[in-house]
Amino acid sequence: MDVLLVCDLRFPGGTSTSVVDEIRAATAAGYRLGLLHLDSSSLRTDRPIHPLIRAELDRGAATLILPGQAVTTRLLVVKHPTLFTMPLGGRLPITADKVILVVGQVPHDRDGTVHYDPALVDAHLVAALGQRAVWAPVSPVVRDHLRAAAESAEILVAPTDWVEIIDPEGWLVDRSTSVDVQRAVIGRHSRPSRMKWPSTASDLLAAYPDDGSVGVRVLGGIDGVVDVLGYEPMQWEVLAFGAVSAQEFLAGIDVFVYQHHPDLVEAFGRTILEALASGAVVVVPPHFEGLFGGACLYAEPLGVMAIVERLWADPLARQRQSDKGLAELGRRFSPAAHVGRVAALIGPPSTAKLRVLPAPDAELIPQRQRDALPTVVVAALGASVAQIEEAVELLVGQRAYAAGFVPVIVTTERPPAAALAAGVQVEVITSRRNWRQAPEQWPEYAAGRLRIFVRQHRATSVTVLDLGHPDAWIALRVRPWSGIAEPEAVT
């Protein structure tokens, strides 16, 4: 590979969006790119691969690297420090010329919440990769928080920030006229969180009035707002998170205003980048100035409305600021800017002949990756050998597509050679036709054996090969492994 991205492919929101933008930018420039999944300690609920990342894999833009697969890459980019908060339990079979750790989160918030220990992350990276990474903060705010760690833990910090990127195509709208001829329309969109809002009623209403003087549109809900104000603002237009696309929402505002809780350390601000790409004027707290420079306007909550009123009275000034934001976006936050920083590290795309990746070696899979692989029991009760062989082919393809899982087929026929050759585990139980006891007892026997296999393999999913088969109902009553013993009898 030219570039190998190591990331948690399940992250919602901006984290995965930035991965997709980097995939598109690098591959459009001709770089060969791979993706390796590692679980992040900050993602506590199980999720599927982000749909935008899956779409890039679907179109062949990137190669999915499976656990245990040996890879040589010119540049390895680890996309989040929380991938290495715990030791991996072994070496990754990866050889890299250069290693960059993109740091998109501060080690701890102002309220004392700790997200990771830089010294431990650095040590775990060395243990997993055999070499040190250069830490690349995404913003000056993150760089400031890493300064102490760089001195005490002696981590290597890049001289420039690894800022996120965005392609304005699909975002940019005509800003020559206002959304509403009667008043300015301000708006914000963010994930629902109390920390995403100002902490006092005076600051919150100063930035987002509820008196009808300006239109206020909110995408992402108002979690925590009622706790601060004591009531729900009646003059606001509030849309739930995901109710409309961010592009559609931003087309319906003139000025993007983002003010947040003072205890929140905002590492970057993906929504700000999206607002700039739409051509909206952006007003944010002064601490963002080191990151966005002249692209935005800056004010504390009490100063927001003075800026909005001035822009509303001077449409030409509003257009000039919009153009300024787009120009800065193209210079520092564009796909071309990303390609430039990759080229500065490794040069132009490789012209070497692409080699077929060797099959994953189970012995090379670090313990944490091995433990994270889900096991799926596929009940094939009554299926023919031919049907099972076809299922094996599908499972092997899906196993690669889904970033790795362990399939276990439970069949009433002999193990097909195709399954053994592909490394798919097979468990065989007595078929209904060979059952020598009372016929009505066979379903209870089959369900009991399925439960045993689920527990033995700690299967997180149970599925059925053929839902139309008369015995499919037996498997549908068997629950996935939860660590708690189930009764053996079918009820």
The answer as to CATH 3.40.50.2000 being correct for domain 185-331 is: yes
d(CA 419, CA 421): 5
DSSP 353: P
Positive or negative torsion for Cα 86, 1, 49, 93: negative
- The band of 189, judged by pLDDT with boundaries at 50, 70 and 90, is very high
Tokens representing residue 68 in the block: 């245990």
How many CB atoms sit inside 10 A of residue 348's CB? 12
Q: Which CATH class is domain 373-476?
A: alpha beta
Q: What share of the chain is helix, strand, coil (3-state, %, to 5)?
A: 40, 15, 45
Instruction: Delimit the domains of the chain by residue range.
Output: 3-165+335-346, 185-331, 373-476
Residue closest to 97 by CA, chosen among 69, 131, 126: 131
The per-residue pLDDT for 420 is 67
The per-residue pLDDT for 387 is 85
d(CA 429, CA 412): 5
CA angle 426–428–430, rounded 5-degree value: 165
The per-residue pLDDT for 191 is 82
Cβ pair 12, 47 in contact under 8 A: yes
Run of H or E residues at 275: helix 270-277
Run of H or E residues at 64: strand 63-65
d(CA 359, CA 123): 29
Residue closest to 260 by CA, chosen among 186, 192, 166, 329: 192
Q: Which residues, in sequence order, are CB contacts of 54 under 8 Å at separation 6+?
A: 48
When pLDDT is averaged across residues 274-278 and rounded to a whole number, the result is: 95
d(CA 227, CA 200): 10
Cβ pair 129, 89 in contact under 8 A: no
Task: Give the tens place of pLDDT for each residue, 288-321.
Answer: 999 999 999 999 999 999 999 999 999 999 999 9
The per-residue pLDDT for 488 is 45
Task: Give the tens place of pLDDT for each residue, 214-256.
Answer: 999 999 999 889 999 999 999 999 999 889 999 999 999 999 9
Cβ pair 204, 233 in contact under 8 A: no
When pLDDT is averaged across residues 482-490 and rounded to a whole number, the result is: 51
The per-residue pLDDT for 187 is 96
H helices present in 347-384, as ranges: 367-372
- The band of 21, judged by pLDDT with boundaries at 50, 70 and 90, is very high
For the cut 70, the answer to whether the pLDDT of residue 491 exceeds it is no
Mean model confidence pLDDT for the chain: 89
- 3-165+335-346 and 373-476 have identical folds: yes
Task: Give the tens place of pLDDT for each residue, 361-372.
Answer: 777 888 888 778
For the cut 90, the answer to whether the pLDDT of residue 33 exceeds it is yes
* Assigned fold of 3-165+335-346: Rossmann fold (3.40.50)
Positive or negative torsion for Cα 205, 206, 212, 215: negative
How many CB atoms sit inside 10 A of residue 474's CB? 22
Beta bridge partners, 36, equal: 6, 65
**Strand-by-strand arrangement of the 71-78 sheet:** 63-65, 33-37, 3-7, 71-78, 94-103, 134-137, 156-157
Task: Give the tens place of pLDDT for each residue, 377-408.
Answer: 999 998 888 888 888 888 876 766 566 788 88
Task: Give the tens place of pLDDT for each residue, 93-110.
Answer: 999 999 999 998 888 877
d(CA 27, CA 54): 15
User: How many H helices and E strands in the chain?
Assistant: 17, 17
Residue closest to 137 by CA, chosen among 155, 124, 125: 155
For the cut 90, the answer to whether the pLDDT of residue 341 exceeds it is yes
pTM over 0.75: yes
Task: Give the tens place of pLDDT for each residue, 66-85.
Answer: 888 899 999 999 999 999 99
Cβ pair 240, 221 in contact under 8 A: yes
Task: Give the tens place of pLDDT for each residue, 145-174.
Answer: 888 777 777 889 999 999 999 988 889 998
Cβ pair 63, 401 in contact under 8 A: no
Task: Give the tens place of pLDDT for each residue, 417-436.
Answer: 777 666 678 889 998 888 98
d(CA 277, CA 336): 15
Residue closest to 325 by CA, chosen among 166, 445, 133: 166
The per-residue pLDDT for 489 is 43
Q: Which residues, in sequence order, are CB contacts of 436 under 8 Å at separation 6+?
A: none
When pLDDT is averaged across residues 323-335 and rounded to a whole number, the result is: 94
